[in-house]
Amino acid sequence: MKNLPSLPKEFEERMRTELGSGFNDFLESLQKKSPVSIRLNPAKPSTPQGEIISWTKHGRYLTERPVFTLDPALHAGAYYVQEASSMLLEQALIQSTDLSKALRVLDLCAAPGGKSTHLLSLINSNSLLVSNEVIRSRSAILSENIQKWGHANVVVSCNDPEDFQRLEGFFDVMVIDAPCSGEGLFRKDPGAMAEWSTDNVQLCSQRQRRILSDVLPALKEGGILIYSTCTFNEQENENNLTWLAQEDAFTFLPLSLPPSCGVETIQKGNAVGYRCYPHLVKGEGFFISVMQKKTSTKQARIKSKSRFSFASKKISEQLQEWIHPTDQFDFILQDNLLITLPIALKEEIEFLQGQLHIVTKGTAMAEVKHDKFIPEHAFALSIHLREEHFQQVDLSLDQALQFLRKEAFMLDDNRKGFALVKYQENSLGWVNLLGNRLNNLYPTAWRIRMGNS
């Protein structure tokens, strides 16, 4: 048990009314430690352990919280540390969408990347994810986590919601995990409690409506909108849904969730949503709703204007040896950086390059320097990497942590050239072997600074 600051008076009064006899259980749940949960990357090696989270195939509860920073598997993208309730996104998507189709998906408020990496594990390789973050400083950590997950069918952008009006009717699916007052995070983040006020709730509700108004023209007719928050109040949830449903603009799609999940179905007028309370669900507070757009929308026409410089046939043939033979990619040259893009998505990504501020696209493969290829860190983490093409070095745990700190360390290895370093089957990055020493090529900005615990 832990001691929390006193609940804000207005919040406590509202929750007492809302929960009735369940309020004491709710209050007691806030004194307990938050459940620890992760979501495995199905495209990378891992040893599943822990209780399965019933609403997501690859989610697991852990019995205790390890020091994640000192686990090389986290840095390899073998799993993502994510709050369990928010993984309800999986049910929202699979119950509303034909995932066998090639889809265009937007995750609008994506940093730090939990929902985007989840989406990448659910959509197929011919689908395109646009993972957007409006705050530039947060887009860097989003890009890092996307690269760790290892997929190439993704664009990371840094745009305001209104910028997406240029893409009228472009997306089949929109996920809007809206900035909110954070009531569902009081147990996990006491700072959210300190910042809470009724005025802030009202401000958040207004901001959420602005975001929705700005971005919804980019959702095609018949497209799916998944709206979520980590808060409990009606203003940011049910009231926003009924506002959306005005003039029959959206149809609400029900989800089938077993009662054992503990998720409550919420209905207000025609609006339907699903709320997680921490005393009923093994997770934090969360709200989610799924809607289908009914209003007619023109569809953005993809113009074929060429914006990319493609690698020469000679370079492309060399790079093709770096990836799995069955993968179909084009290779573009951006300054001195070689980037791989799925052939099936090349025109769409080229079109988006002219409409959005793109942070990263596809997977960076190598830097061209004096007619040599210096492999990029992102490609070491790619699920498309053909590992057998490269020299490989298996590291101990101590060596792996030295590598992740970008420290110099010794290897009993007299080989020369670039080598892929691995820990327990997962690729961590590159080193340049120089006979009796090596250069550690781990990105400086990504290095861990924590000492061994």
Q: What is the pLDDT of residues 351-381, one digit of tens each?
A: 999 999 999 999 999 999 888 999 999 999 9
User: What does the block give as tokens for 41?
Assistant: 């990357």
Query: 379's torsion region: left (phi>0), alpha (psi -120 to 50) or beta?
Result: alpha
Q: Do domains 302-385 and 390-453 have the same CATH topology?
A: yes
pTM for the model stands at 0.96
How does pLDDT run across 333-344, given as a tens digit for each residue? 999 999 999 999
pLDDT at 246: 84
pLDDT at 35: 96
Q: In angstroms, rounded to a whole number, what is the distance separating the alpha carbons of residues 359 and 159?
A: 10
Q: For the chain, what are the domain ranges?
A: 87-293, 302-385, 390-453
Please report which confidence band the pLDDT of residue 17 belongs to, taking 50, 70 and 90 as the band edges.
very high
Give the full edge-to-edge strand order of the sheet including 416-423.
391-394, 416-423, 426-434, 438-440
pLDDT at 409: 87
Give the CA-trace dihedral at 318, 322, 328, 334, to 10 degrees. Answer: -70
CATH class of the domain whose range is 87-293: alpha beta
pLDDT at 33: 93
Please report which confidence band the pLDDT of residue 4 belongs to, taking 50, 70 and 90 as the band edges.
low
φ, ψ (nearest 5 deg) of residue 85: -60, -40
For 145, the enclosing helix (H) or strand (E) is: helix 136-149
Mean pLDDT for all residues in the chain: 94
Please report which confidence band the pLDDT of residue 211 belongs to, taking 50, 70 and 90 as the band edges.
very high
pLDDT at 384: 97
Q: In angstroms, rounded to a whole number, what is the distance separating the alpha carbons of residues 184 and 175?
A: 19
How does pLDDT run across 214-256, given as a tens digit for each residue? 999 999 999 999 999 999 999 999 999 999 988 778 999 999 9
Q: In angstroms, rounded to a whole number, what is the distance separating the alpha carbons of residues 383 and 426?
A: 10
Task: Over range 160-174, report the average pLDDT.
Answer: 96
Residue 312: exposed, middle, or buried by beta-carbon count in 10 A (0-12, 13-18, 19+)? exposed
The CATH topology of domain 302-385 is: Nuclear Transport Factor 2; Chain: A, (3.10.450)
CATH class of the domain whose range is 390-453: alpha beta
Q: In angstroms, rounded to a whole number, what is the distance separating the alpha carbons of residues 373 and 337?
A: 9
